[in-house]
Chains A and B, each alone.
Chain A
Amino acid sequence: MSRLLQALFGRLPIGWLQLTHSRTRFAAALAGVAFANVLVFVQLGIMQSMATATLTPYGFFRADVMISAPDANAMAEGGNVARQWMLQAMAHPEVTSGMGLFLANVNWQRAGEGLSLTTFGIDPAQPEFLAPELAAKTAPLQMRMAGLLDRLARGLPRDEAAGIRPQAPLSFETSGQTLTLYDSFAGGGGFGGDGYMLVSDQTFLSLFPGRSSAAPDHILLRLRPGADPERVAAELRGLVSDKTLRIRSYAAAAQEDLSYQQTQRPTGVIFGFGVLIGVLVGIVIVYQVLSTDVADHMREYATFKAMGYGHRFFLGIVFEEALILGLLGFVPGALVGGGLLTLMGRITTLPLAVTPGMVLSVLAGTLVFSILSGAIATRRLAGADPADLF
């Protein structure tokens, strides 16, 4: 390492030699940086999983424009939308079809354990509104009280879920009715439920008799090929009589939902602060290590100043130390953080995983906070006065 750094800097790697002179202190410093990295990794992982969980249900459908109630900040929030607005919207020449989307949670009691399934009610006669994996499995939904189950739902044995087939359906009781599952699809547990279920709108209305077929939760629209969803959505806002409705392109609705979850929901804000606190902890730890190191070597630095070394040389030492701490602290931090996320993902079935983008962003963030700490620590170098050496 020493030789590599010497070749890299073209000088003795004083930062490295100083840091490694006291192995115990060096190990403690690396542990501190690694701890900050673990904090950031875990918080980022949870934020990332929230983003994945938020966008997962949008992936079940194929739509261009979504009409929602004025208070529908997220897919699972807000009031109902009158079906009449769908008919009005379909008067637009570029709208080819529309479908009401119903949404509510169904509770499945299994051996004393309750499963909360976010359940979508759709029109099985309009499979073009579904993702290909789902569209191919809509035939059984034509039957009453039939459903498709999320095989990745939390609390559901994987082999049991994977075994559900039209030839081997699985039935369960909910709200005093028997619901039969004929097939499965890949969803995954989220923050609002343990998994997903897909039923026909008629089955949905049987499960929730208080709901009306005239008032779905959202209205999905499909446009002619090549039509611009943003432009059509803007035109529909002028066309549909109820000006309070949220009429957005489907992609914009998904992004607004994500932004809402990350910036306005308490969970998103808390995890965002968690990342910030991790970064601050990292800055404080690296600053403390570097600042102490500069103070400990003040006489040596003053000697080097007397010998004719310039300020850039000292900055180089401090930044060398900052980068070494950042890089070497990152490795165990990433390993432990990744391990913790994997473990948490297994326990919670949330989509918790370390992604290459996360690794790169945490590495970049670590280097930035290390250099920032180094920059603050260099202020102490001014205290090295060579005249005091005599």
Chain B
Amino acid sequence: MGDEDFPVQARALNYWFGRGEARKQALYDIDLRIARGSLTVLVGPSGSGKTTLLTLLGCLREVQQGLVILLGHELHGATPALATALRRRLGFIFQAHNLHESLTAAQNVMMGVQVLGRVDKARAQAAAAHVLGLLGLSERLDYLPANLSGGQKQRVAIARALVGNPELVLADEPTAALDRDSGANVVELLKRLGQARGTTTIMVTHDNRILDRADRILTLEDGRIVGDEARGG
């Protein structure tokens, strides 16, 4: 397999928070390669560096030391413009839904299409309705977040991340607010996207239902990868 089969690569990656005497290292010599289309789960205790790694891989923090290659681009010293352009090719699912309170469910999802450029409104609406339908929210397109349940809001946020056909999905506890069936539906959707479109997913979770469906489980402790288990998924 060539480099193009690994949309995410990291070598000797170190990261520190703070400066001077208050400086504290959060990641130590991280080496990893994530295969295209795979579902990788990051596990580990709180403070182990999972989220820091996720934000570094998603161009949300600057690489300080080491190498990160994302979708074929070296991130160390990447310009803000390159980082922004790369983020458009990613899908982010946060633990909190972070939906825009003034926008309807469909409009929130359309934001994931609009970022790709000037898109015809009808096409953006159709794409948003399609993805919301896949997540069981066809009847909630015109609802404001205030009128949705916690699980419904989270599914709208997932739809927003997926509607632009991202090459890589980075998710932080995406199913925490979902019931059993909805959580399983989301994982199946991510798996299907991996198989059909080669969408790669890296997810922080403690949800055992997802661990069972993961292709690979990376365990972090104190900023180091201490376990790397390939699974059948």
Chain A residues within 8 Å of B, Cβ to Cβ:
6, 10-12, 14, 17-18, 20-21, 297, 299-300, 302-304, 306-310, 386-387, 389-390
Contact = CB atoms under 8 A, between A and B. Distances in A.
A308 B102 contact: no
A14 B100 contact: yes
Given A299-B98, A390-B55, A308 B115 contact: yes
A125 to B, nearest CB: 77
Q: Which of the listed residues A20, A297, A304, A306 has the most CB atoms from chain B within 10 Å of its own CB?
A: A306
Contacts of A6: 121
B123 interface: no
25 contacts: A11-B118, A12-B111, A12-B114, A14-B103, A17-B107, A21-B102, A297-B100, A303-B94, A306-B58, A306-B60, A306-B92, A307-B88, A307-B111, A307-B112, A307-B115, A308-B87, A308-B115, A387-B60, A387-B61, A389-B94, A389-B98, A390-B55, A390-B60, A390-B95, A390-B172
B51 interface: yes
A303 B98 contact: yes
B84 interface: yes
Contacts of B98: 299-300, 302-303, 389
Given A6-B121, A17-B107, A302-B98, 16 more contacts: A10-B118, A11-B118, A12-B111, A21-B101, A297-B100, A300-B98, A304-B111, A306-B58, A306-B92, A307-B88, A308-B87, A308-B88, A309-B84, A310-B84, A387-B61, A389-B60
A12 B103 contact: yes
Contacts of A10: 118
Tier of interface size on chain B: 20 to 34
Specify the main secondary structure of chain A where it touches its partner: helix
B85 interface: yes
A176 to B, nearest CB: 77
Interface of B: 51, 54-55, 58, 60-61, 81, 84-90, 92, 94-96, 98-103, 107, 110-112, 114-115, 118, 121, 160, 172
Q: Which of the listed residues A308, A387, A389 has the most CB atoms from chain B within 10 Å of its own CB?
A: A308
A11 B114 contact: yes
A363 B102 CA distance: 28
B107 A12 contact: yes
Contacts of B95: 390
Contact of B87 (A14, A18, A307): A307
Q: Which of the listed residues B60, B81, B95 has the most CB atoms from chain A within 10 Å of its own CB?
A: B60
Given A12-B103, A299-B98, A300-B98, A309 B115 contact: yes
A8 to B, nearest CB: 12
Contacts of B102: 14, 17-18, 20-21
Given A12-B103, A21-B102, A308-B85, A390 B115 contact: no
A297 B103 CA distance: 12
A302 B88 CA distance: 14
Q: Which 4 A-B pairs have the closest CB atoms?
A: A308-B88, A21-B102, A308-B87, A17-B102
A389 B111 contact: no
Nearest to B157: A303
Nearest to B85: A308
A304 B98 CA distance: 10
A303 B60 CA distance: 11
A390 B49 CA distance: 12
